[in-house]
Structure 1
Amino acid sequence: MFETFMESIQGLLSSSGFLAVHWQQLLMIAIACFLAYLAIAKGYEPLLLLPIAFGMLLTNIPNTELFHMEYYIESSIDFGEVLHSGGLLDILYLGVKLGIYPPLIFLGIGTMTDFGPLIANPKSFLLGAAAQLGIFVTFFGALAVGFTPTEAGGISIIGGADGPTAILVAKSLAPHLLGSIAVAAYSYMALVPVIQPPIMKLLTTKKERSVVMAQLRPVSRVEKLMFPFIVTLLVSFLVPDAAPLMGMLMLGNLMRESGVVDRLVKTAQNELMNIITIFLGVTVGATATAEYFLTGKTILIIVLGLLAFCIGTAGGVLFGKLMYIVTKGKVNPLIGSAGVSAVPMAARVSQKVGAETDPTNFLLMHAMGPNVAGVIGSAIAAGVLLSIFA
């Protein structure tokens, strides 16, 4: 009896994570706790950063068998093995690997987005496009420091400042870097109010920041209803790989503007969005295992991600300065920084920096045009990268 009891104790100890843990896993658990602290205490993108942090914590606990990154490194997935031998997070991660979660997030975003400022001022599309400069410059920068073309494509999309887009591209082009790319993308999105203002002030003069723009024209309901159809058709014909993101974004917006499916709009905005956010965050965090996260590549990704974000901001502001010159002072260059797609935070930063120069100046609605154009621009850029490298 005693021998049986001791064998049970030994079996329990041998299966315990305490005997199997390595210092790398302990370091990853510490990083996960730090990210959770940033989400809870500092409010940095808490809706996604908190699930990501906890997913990172779970995946680095030894012997839990919740997630197996090796199932997803290859381009083809052995679904039988995943369903038969995989853990909880392996199964939930299929929603990321199969490209299901990011488009559903875009569906929810579409129901919360007003494209009116963009329709009223179509020139905002140019500012949104200019702010994607960071994606393409960083792509070549990543190649220069030794990343493969597919890895460089996954890293460069951080410059779009759009988390779901970054995840969609990274899971296809560089799944082994997904954890690092996602953490970098959401960290910099949370730091928009810190990163952007110095760049905006450096590249503009006080006179340019003081420009008061004319009030936007009213946008008719017909225009708002036509917009999702026109954009979906144009973008999907031009870049078919962007259709999942663009189609879901515009479907959500059409539901919002139609006014006849309020129940669906509320579901997409709340229940569906919240459920997918939990699944997406936890499973993306689970990819940040010690083996794949604690490498020199992660440091390079963080540096390149910051570079992408800064260049994207600068690209939007500089194109805004060009529009300021062409229109003879009718466009405030500050709204160009909102083209990086972090909705609506980037537009609020444009408003804040403008108000610091002239408290009576109200740029928010003007900045929302480039801001939502940036969402479309990042989806198109993602489609271009996927069509070339996927």
Structure 2
Amino acid sequence: MDILQEFIKTTGFWSLGPGNVVMIVIGIVFIALAITKDYEPLLLVPIGMGAIVGNIPLIEGMSLSVYDMHRWVIEDGQVNYQPGSVLSYLYFGVSWGIYPPLVFLGIGAMTDFSTMLSNPKLVLLGAAAQVGVFLTFLGAIWLGFDLKQSGAIGIIGGADGPTAIFLSSKLAPELLGAIAIAAYSYMALVPVIQPPIMRLLTTHDERLIRMKPPRKVSRREKMIFPVAAFLICTLVAPGAMVLLGMLFFGNLLKESMVTERLANTARTAMIDIVTVLLGFSVGASTEASTFLTRQSLLIFGLGALAFAIATAGGVLFAKFMNLFLKEKINPLIGAAGVSAVPDSARVVQMVGQQEDPHNFLLMHAMAPNVAGVIGSAIAAGVLWAVLT
């Protein structure tokens, strides 16, 4: 019986707490939403499984958690290296901001900036949507978070998971898990959160507005753009150099037409591998004792507010632009100013076709959508520079 009791104490059932159960259920819900509702399955399945793995209770003395980082210790006057767990090494790419730039490389290799170049004024919608970042930053300060934590929380409003992870790793690593989960959760819930806000802020006639097809963009423009845009953006916000450098590098690989093999690797195998590692290790960091806290709940609330404000900001700014434009733009495309690519653009298309099945807004919505990616990276660079 003594042997049996000792064995029971080494099982996960012995120290399984209510918090662990809650997080395991949340992980299962993420997986179910990904499979049944098709909500960002490439993100929610790895994160959900990671949350389940990360909430299995640990045995004392066994190095298993993402928080069992490697470290140097001095023993008998000698410096000895004590390795951490496998999960801690996978999480290293999150905690040091290595994975996000690699994701941006893949995004750049997949992105066509033609619609944005054909109608440059739509870039303003991507900038307007970043109002969610800065208003949430102020809201976080009001709720008692310090400046660096508030900056990391505010970037959730950009609806860009990699950018949120990158900035959190620099400003508030203690909040990294909660911020990453919040950012990716709201990215997955774009089809749920955005449509009611879009309908509330637009009239039936506005949703029926049809826009002219975008003009054809030359190959020369496409090749010049990544270099020119990188120089302009990073001279304004040097803190965005790594993210934007990888984004525009990936796009240059695609548009140059002489590095197709590299571009294909970046937008397929590389981004898939990094997405698996990023999602799983972020999910595994949600151990109940460190995740289920008052701070985490506030972050989730602020994240939802940030996303709603960003969506509203883009739509309202589109309506404001229409006051001065002869050729009106459909205000729905302003909602795509958040950088959840391409889901926000798809939502714009869906809402627009509910009003008029023959109105095709997807290509127009991609312009503020990709501008939002750039805008959120610039916002992160500005916050990092100002708050460091």
**TM-score interval, smaller chain:** over 0.9
CA drift at 1:25 = 1.9
Aligned partner of 1:376 in structure 2 is 374
Which of 37, 40, 47 lines up with 2:42 in the alignment?
Answer: 47
Aligned partner of 1:100 in structure 2 is 98
Matches within 5 A, 1:173-188: 173-188=171-186
Which amino acid in the other structure matches residue 95 of structure 1? Answer: G
Q: Deviations over 1:238-287 (max 9, x none)?
A: 21110111011001111111111221122111111111111111111122
Which of 263, 267, 272 lines up with 2:265 in the alignment?
Answer: 267
Q: Please say if residues 163 and 185 of structure 1, whose CA atoms lie closer than 8 Å, have aligned partners that are also in contact.
A: yes
Query: TM-score, normalised to structure 2's length?
Result: 0.92
Q: Please say if residues 178 and 296 of structure 2, whose CA atoms lie closer than 8 Å, have aligned partners that are also in contact.
A: yes
Tell me if 1:29 matches 2:24: yes
Aligned partner of 1:58 in structure 2 is 53
Q: 1:31 to 1:353 in 2, by over 3 A?
A: closer
Aligned partner of 1:352 in structure 2 is 350
Q: C-alpha separation between the residues in 2 aligned to 1:100 and 1:272?
A: 13
Q: C-alpha separation between the residues in 1 aligned to 2:33 and 2:262?
A: 33
Matches within 5 A, 1:119-268: 119-268=117-266
Aligned partner of 1:3 in structure 2 is none
Which amino acid in the other structure matches residue 174 of structure 1? Answer: A
CA drift at 1:23 = 2.5
Q: C-alpha separation between the residues in 1 aligned to 2:289 and 2:120?
A: 47
Q: C-alpha separation between the residues in 2 aligned to 1:22 and 1:348?
A: 41
Which amino acid in the other structure matches residue 41 of structure 1? Answer: T
Which amino acid in the other structure matches residue 22 of structure 1? Answer: G
Percent of aligned pairs with the same amino acid: 55
Q: C-alpha separation between the residues in 1 aligned to 2:15 and 2:81?
A: 25
Which of 1, 10, 13 lines up with 1:15 in the alignment?
Answer: 10
Aligned partner of 2:76 in structure 1 is none
Query: TM-score, normalised to structure 1's length?
Result: 0.92
Tell me if 1:285 matches 2:283: yes
Q: 1:79 to 1:267 in 2, by over 3 A?
A: farther
Which amino acid in the other structure matches residue 160 of structure 2? Answer: D
Q: Please say if residues 335 and 350 of structure 1, whose CA atoms lie closer than 8 Å, have aligned partners that are also in contact.
A: yes
> Structure 1 stretch 232-241 or stretch 123-132: which is displaced more?
232-241
Aligned partner of 1:362 in structure 2 is 360
Q: Please say if residues 24 and 294 of structure 1, whose CA atoms lie closer than 8 Å, have aligned partners that are also in contact.
A: yes
Q: C-alpha separation between the residues in 1 aligned to 2:23 and 2:369?
A: 34
> Structure 1 stretch 369-378 or stretch 258-267: which is displaced more?
258-267
Q: Please say if residues 208 and 329 of structure 1, whose CA atoms lie closer than 8 Å, have aligned partners that are also in contact.
A: no
Which amino acid in the other structure matches residue 356 of structure 1? Answer: Q
Q: C-alpha separation between the residues in 2 aligned to 1:189 and 1:227?
A: 27
Q: Please say if residues 209 and 333 of structure 1, whose CA atoms lie closer than 8 Å, have aligned partners that are also in contact.
A: yes
CA drift at 1:89 = 0.9
Which amino acid in the other structure matches residue 29 of structure 1? Answer: I
Q: C-alpha separation between the residues in 2 aligned to 1:349 and 1:14?
A: 50
Q: Please say if residues 161 and 342 of structure 1, whose CA atoms lie closer than 8 Å, have aligned partners that are also in contact.
A: yes
CA drift at 1:297 = 1.9
Q: Please say if residues 58 and 65 of structure 2, whose CA atoms lie closer than 8 Å, have aligned partners that are also in contact.
A: no
- Runs (5+) with no aligned partner, structure 2: 74-79
- Runs (5+) with no aligned partner, structure 1: 1-5, 72-77
CA drift at 1:143 = 1.2
Which amino acid in the other structure matches residue 316 of structure 1? Answer: G
Q: C-alpha separation between the residues in 1 aligned to 2:81 and 2:323?
A: 59
CA drift at 1:329 = 4.8
CA drift at 1:180 = 1.8
Secondary structure, aligned partner of 1:19 = helix
Which amino acid in the other structure matches residue 212 of structure 1? Answer: R
Q: C-alpha separation between the residues in 1 aligned to 2:136 and 2:171?
A: 15
